[in-house]
A and B are shown apart, each in its own frame.
Chain A
Amino acid sequence: MNTLIAISGLGILSLIAEIFNARKAIVPMTIIGLLAILGLTASEFGLDKGYYNNMVVVDKFSSAFSCLFIIITIFLVAMSHDFYKNQSTKISDFVAIKVFLLAGAVAMVSFGNLSMFFLGIEVLSIALYILAASNRLNLKSNEAGMKYFLMGSFASGIILFGICLVYGATGSFDLKAIYQVIHYSNFPQWYFIGIVLLLIGMLFKIATVPFHFWAPDVYEGSPALTTATMSSLAKIVAMAALFRLVVKLLPVQSYSFQVIIVCVAIASMLVGNIMALRQNNVKRMFAFSGISHAGFMVMTLLCLNNAASVLLYYAAAYAVAGIAFFAVVIYVTREKQNETIDSFNGFGKTHPLLAGILTASLLSMAGIPILAGFFAKFFLLNQLIQTGWIVLVIVAVIASIISVGYYFKIILALYTKDSEQNLPAVPLAYQIVAVLALLLNILIGLFPGYVLNLLG
């Protein structure tokens, strides 16, 4: 609860800083503020308490995920100063929107009432619509914003209808009251229609097959920093919220629900990875790679009792690798019209450090040992074998092997091709963010126990 209030206050503060002409101080001030909030959230870890009639429930799950979201937002804010240097008069807006987006994200993992969940998802989505269309003179950015807006609000409508049916069947928005009703009394069977509508809406937001078609266009058209926000932050927020929803609203899963999840996961992993093979645009390729990772994360819904820590680990590994990847991609492509793989030709010879970081983050996503991505997949598949869905494990391994193909396309361009392009000097912010994100990735890869034991 304190986290949520402090984040909202920080967002307002960074808007006020604009009035006092303190434009240069906004980014450092926000980073320091977010670090303080990170400390506050970490100090509340282990608390299990509801606030305001259970509107917000702080527990281990919500604290751990909030910490992860805050860390990712710190990286994103740190890159904003240089990324928006052509629009420096609007820096306070961009930073404030990112901070408000974080507030929505925290609300989405710490809700105790469905109205809080709905408000959280809307705060997050509306902030992302603005960020996607924020480069307003560029037609591609406009188009991405429009497509994201239409698809996002369509999904919001479906989620709202699902909430309405759950309310109609149980007579309450409070998760504890709903729990009482579905365990100890008769309730109409269309309660499950509500659950399915909620599931469809959330799968839209996570971008899994069959609800993935918006993702490649939106990721390609948006400004690169927004793409980083969507792919790293928004995806894991939606996934964590879906996990919490299913844990609270559907404690006992029928076989047919499990079959739906298995089909969605298999389709996402295969379609995402196979489509990514034929992409030439890096952002578009990353969108398909994100679809396949969403398929991996959705699999945690099959073993709800002990998968929370695996989901946290997978989300952390994926998001941190994504941040390191985008820190380099933003630097390489910021003067260019589009982000083809050719932009990376010969980058390994001119910038060995950044090229090494890019390679390492790609290897982490492909699942090569030492890096966190490998252990994330390892723990996830380990859990799945215990649930008995061997088919899913086999498909996941095949999908990982396919994914190596397109990740190595970039790595080959880095080291084997030559080019005469002259890139300007590397801004310090990108370098620091890339190095820190990769270090974090290697650390959670080397000491997985610290993350896995958090949610016990």
Chain B
Amino acid sequence: MDNILQEIGMENYIYLSVILFCIGVFGVLYRRNAIIMFMSIEIMLNAVNLLFVAFSTYHQDAQGQVFVFFSMAVAAAEVAVGLAILVSIFRNLNSIDIDNLKNLKG
């Protein structure tokens, strides 16, 4: 594992993760379909997971990999709740476009 990390370089892992994280952020900010927004949030979390694993190898320390399991479990629970909310919105509105949610303004 060490050789791969040295050959590719730690900084490239960081660049890749930051790019993926930014793709996720812009997805949440600019897309209007709720499912795609959920996927963008998942990309953000998984970009961080990738970075955790890379750092874990870099530091020769297993804690980072254990943390990935925590964050994956949490992300799964979060998306389950999010999809449940989305289903109840779809039942009320027959649409999952975020722009239709405009009842709360003031």
Contact = CB atoms under 8 A, between A and B. Distances in A.
Interface of A: 115, 118-119, 122, 125-126, 129-130, 133, 136-137, 139-140, 142-147, 149-150, 153-154, 156-157, 160-161, 163-164, 167-168, 171-173, 216-217, 220-221, 279-281, 284
19 contacts: A126-B81, A139-B92, A139-B93, A142-B89, A142-B101, A143-B101, A146-B86, A149-B81, A150-B37, A154-B25, A154-B41, A160-B45, A160-B71, A163-B67, A164-B52, A164-B55, A167-B52, A168-B58, A284-B106
Interface of B: 14, 21, 24-25, 28, 34, 37, 41, 44-45, 47-48, 51-52, 55, 58-59, 61, 63-64, 66-67, 70-71, 74, 77-78, 81-82, 84-86, 88-89, 92-93, 98, 101, 103-106
B106 A118 contact: no
A360 B51 CA distance: 52
Nearest to A174: B63
Contacts of A146: 34, 85-86, 89, 98, 101
Contact of A173 (B14, B67, B78, B89): B67
A126 B78 contact: yes
A220 B106 contact: yes
B28 A167 contact: no
The secondary-structure label for the interface of chain B is: helix
A125 B106 CA distance: 25
The secondary-structure label for the interface of chain A is: helix
B63 A173 contact: yes
Nearest to B100: A143
Given A136-B88, A173-B63, A160 B48 contact: yes
Given A126-B77, A173-B63, A118 B51 contact: no
A161 B41 contact: no
A163 B48 CA distance: 9
9 closest A-B pairs by CB? A157-B44, A217-B104, A168-B55, A171-B59, A136-B88, A143-B101, A122-B74, A145-B85, A133-B85
Contact of B104 (A125, A173, A221): A221
Nearest to B96: A146
B31 to A, nearest CB: 11
Contacts of B71: 118, 160
B70 A118 contact: yes
Given A146-B34, A154-B25, A216-B104, 19 more contacts: A115-B70, A119-B70, A129-B82, A133-B88, A139-B103, A144-B104, A146-B86, A153-B78, A154-B28, A156-B45, A157-B24, A157-B41, A161-B44, A164-B52, A168-B55, A168-B58, A172-B61, A221-B103, A279-B106
A171 B74 contact: no
**Residue of B58, B66, B84 ringed by the most chain A CB atoms within 10 A:** B84
Contacts of A160: 44-45, 48, 71
A341 to B, nearest CB: 13
A263 B34 CA distance: 33
A115 B67 contact: yes
A147 B48 contact: no
Given A153-B41, A161-B48, A164-B51, A147 B101 contact: yes
Contacts of A153: 41, 78, 82
B33 to A, nearest CB: 12
A157 B70 contact: no
Contacts of A220: 104, 106
A142 B88 contact: yes
B99 to A, nearest CB: 12
B63 A172 contact: yes
Nearest to A142: B89
Nearest to A190: B14
Contact of A129 (B28, B58, B85): B85
B106 A156 contact: no
Contact of A156 (B78, B85, B103): B78
Nearest to B89: A142
A126 B92 CA distance: 22
Nearest to A145: B85
Contacts of B85: 129, 133, 142, 145-146, 149
A198 to B, nearest CB: 13
Contacts of A126: 74, 77-78, 81
A223 B88 CA distance: 16
Given A143-B89, A146-B85, A150-B37, A122 B51 contact: no
